[in-house]
Structures are given as structure tokens and as C-alpha cells.
A and B are shown apart, each in its own frame.
Chain A
């Protein structure tokens, strides 16, 4: 089997760096073409995380303080696979989000909405042997930002994933089904292909819902994959 490295993303699956409606890209997007090079050991390897990195109530964002946060309690669960559908086990997932009122626990968030003393909004878990993960949190609120007049971000949860290599690193955002703000959000719309864009919308999942407790949402994530090689160096 030949070793061609991690497969490149289908270009329609990813946004370009420059997308003028998202104003901050104008001064920050590179304009020169990226330099392509054959994969080396440096891109084929990556940091490994373990149970010590996810100790405590890392996966339950509703139990990180003395009381319970306000808002709609939800379960967010899913599976991380590569582009051939193979599990990505024991990989670190980190999430962060606004509270139910649309305010981040962050000194640069100037939205006039209340902080919740019982909610920080950060979580981390490792996927299990089948690539599955689960968080308990509250549904984040929409919030205004300064990109354009009357700009609002749809409710979202930020996701950070490592996968097995430097090449598989991904940071993205998960959205909720049926959000009326999708059409007006340049960050969501920066992915021009509708099918690809919809990969970022979690599905309501009655099976993941716990009766008398919390609604469940499913968000599956696909990372880059590569062919295995029997000649691993």
C-alpha cells in the first residue's frame, strides 16, 4: 500500500481564508497561495492526550460550580470518524460557548447580558474506543457582534479537535437546527457549499434525549484520513 499521507479536504468542504462579508478576514487572510509540500514526520505525528487531561467534571458543563446554570439543559453527543468512516478513538475534544443569555465568561465580551455564576462554558473529553463523545451543557444564546449593522451570531458551540496528527487539527463550530440567523451570519455562510455548511448543524436526536432531564443533539465530525502503511517509520 502506498503512503500518500493525509488526504486533502475537498475544497468545497472548507471556507476560503478571505470572505469579505466577515470583515475581520480582510486584514487577516493570507493572499499568497499556500505552499504545498510532501507530508513529513512532522505533519504525520501529533500530540497525544490522556485521562489526566480530562479529569473532574470536564464533560458536564452544568456541574462545574456549586449551583446549576440557568437555561435549557442539553446533551451534545456524536462520533468522530475519518473520511472513510473509521473511528477516531481517544482524541481530545474541547468545547466553549456562551451561556444561555448569550454571554461568554470572558473579559472582552461586552454584550449587555448577564453572566451566570454557575456557568463558565468550557469543557473537554476524550472520544471512546469507537470515536464517541458526550457533553452535558446548556443551550447557548444568540448574541450580537460588531461585524455589520444589527449583526447576530446564531447559537453555536465551538469545537476543537486534534485527531491523530498535526495534519488533522480542526477547530469548528456546531449550530442548532432551524436557527433563523443562518441566512444572516457571514461566518456560517463562509462555507459556500450548502451541503458542506449543513455538516455544522447538529441534529435533534430523541434517542440521545433523556426523559425528564435534557434534550439530545447529535453532532458527528469527520476529520482527514489517510491510508495505513505497513512500513511505518
Chain B
């Protein structure tokens, strides 16, 4: 077949706007959306506590967090979303993701939406004890002194409970990605 030569115009994308403070009535009515697993789901079951803070360190009580991750075998994917509470916190029930057969360390893709965010913020959760973090091509692009902002940390009392702090700005600003 002869290749077709086409000059295609790129359409201007629809601009993003903030999610605003009232999305709950539609987007997060289903609290089970915070459970990415069932009792039979293969893999290491964990709780992922996400906490969102603004530039003053104050909790962001009207954010929406979405997770997108591989299952235990490294296939995509599992999706979840929750709104943060008055403490800026939401807690997902999920599994530690597997490796996706590429050169990536296990990670969870995260979208953050909130009043005051005119566009989605995208970041990644990595697990601080994972030996393959050193080989991860995306982490390698992050300045060394900021990589720790992408690490979830296990609770000292409960090894299945991990906390990921998201600092929207300020001294400890989380690394966000241009995906």
C-alpha cells in the first residue's frame, strides 16, 4: 500500500480548569473507589495514606487523589480515587505494584486535583525499601536531593501501612512530572 501523505492540523487542546471545591457530589460519592483490591487480589496488601499539604504546611482538605498502578504481575491496571478529609488525608487499600517488565521500579502514578490547582498535578509513589529504585529511568531524571519526595514510608508500627506526603509547594515541594 502506498503511504498516504497527509498534512494534519493539530487542534488546540481544550484548556484545563480547576476542579473547584464541590466535586464531591459527583466524583467521590463512591467510597469503595478507595479500595483497589478484593480479598482474593494477588500481591502484598497495603494501605497507602496520602496526605496533601499546601505551601504553608496546612492540610489541603478539598483535594482529589487518583491512583493508577500495575497489579502484582506488573500489568496495568488498578484505579482508585478519593477525596482528602479535614486533615488533608485519604487512605487507599491497595497492593504493592509489581514490575511491568520494563526498566521501571514498582511505582504508583498519582493525579492530584484541587481548588487552586488550575491543572492536574502528576507524581509517582515509589517504595523506599525497593532495591530496584536505583535502576529506575524516571527516578534517575530527578535531582538526587529531591528524590526522597517521591518515596512512601512504612509505618514503624505497621509495615503494611505506607504514607506518602504531597507538598504542593514550599521548601519540601514534591516532584511533579510533565507526563
Contact = CB atoms under 8 A, between A and B. Distances in A.
Q: A and B: real partners?
A: yes
A150 to B, nearest CB: 19
B56 interface: yes
Interface in A1-51: 7-10, 12-17, 19, 22-32, 34-43, 45-47
The interface size bin for chain B is 35 or more
A123 B26 CA distance: 7
A40 B116 CA distance: 28
Contacts of A12: 12
A179 B160 CA distance: 52
B19 A171 contact: yes
Contacts of A173: 17-18, 20
Interface in B66-107: 66, 68-70, 76-77, 79, 100, 102, 104, 107
Contacts of A85: 8-9, 11
B55 A27 contact: yes
The interface size bin for chain A is 35 or more
Nearest to B10: A83
Given A25-B116, A27-B169, A106-B21, 20 more contacts: A9-B13, A13-B15, A14-B119, A24-B116, A25-B118, A27-B116, A32-B173, A34-B177, A42-B124, A46-B79, A83-B10, A96-B26, A98-B22, A108-B22, A121-B26, A158-B26, A167-B179, A171-B18, A196-B12, A222-B12
Interface of A: 7-10, 12-17, 19, 22-32, 34-43, 45-47, 81, 83-85, 94-96, 98, 104-106, 108-109, 120-124, 158, 160, 166-167, 169-173, 187-188, 190-191, 195-197, 199-200, 221-224
Interface of B: 8-27, 29, 54-56, 58, 60, 62, 66, 68-70, 76-77, 79, 100, 102, 104, 107, 109, 111, 113-122, 124, 137-138, 141-142, 146, 168-169, 173-179
